[in-house]
Amino acid sequence: MLDGLALAQRGVSANLCALTFDDGPGQTTEALLNILRDKGIRATFFVVGSRVHLYPETLKRLVAEGNEVGNHTFSHISLRQRAPVEQLSEIARTNEELARLGIVPRYLRPPYGRYDNATIDAAAALSMTIALWSVDSRDWRKHDLSAVLPRKSYGVRGVRGVFLFHDNHRETVEALPNLIDRLTEAGCTFVTMSEYVETSGPLCLH
């Protein structure tokens, strides 16, 4: 279980920054992949299972270019207080859709960050780790994404963390090139979720 606190305590020495995108794949994902490719950055995409069959080529490209895929449930429901069998089905069905493309996700991100003990048990049963975020861009509010940059860390201690975005928001995609440039200037070393976790020491188990 990697919650916001556990993630915020990682990546200190190397200023690791993991860009993560929820809710896709969608119509703007290809444009987002173009930006990441041009910037030489790899990211992690937590995908909704019911959308996987709609964008198989996008997902194949995503993986081919070194990006990582995570599980964001099949129908994007809040898992908290749902029946354990329903939670397991939501996660397993997404894994099955991804398996048809040869993709095996390591991480589960529950929609809205909502989970309970049954979610933890379901993830463990499928050999997965729940991974949330430490920096929320709140891009669904369609505000200035520069707000995700810590003001006092600029040029001092650097920026780090697991950043939450959504690849189905056109405003996010349009703002991303400038945001990546500013994060780079602030000292970010961009990594995938797996790289962030593996480079940052042992897991914080709850």
Which active-site residues does the annotation give? 22, 166
118's enclosing H/E stretch is: helix 117-125
Give the Cα separation of 153 and 117 in Å (integer).
Answer: 35
What 3-state DSSP class applies to 32?
A: helix
Give the Cα separation of 119 and 79 in Å (integer).
Answer: 7
- CB 6, CB 196: distance < 8 Å: no
Give the Cα separation of 194 and 168 in Å (integer).
Answer: 23
- CB 119, CB 84: distance < 8 Å: no
DSSP symbol at 136: E
Give the Cα separation of 135 and 191 in Å (integer).
Answer: 15
- The rounded radius of gyration (Å) of the Cα atoms in the chain is 16
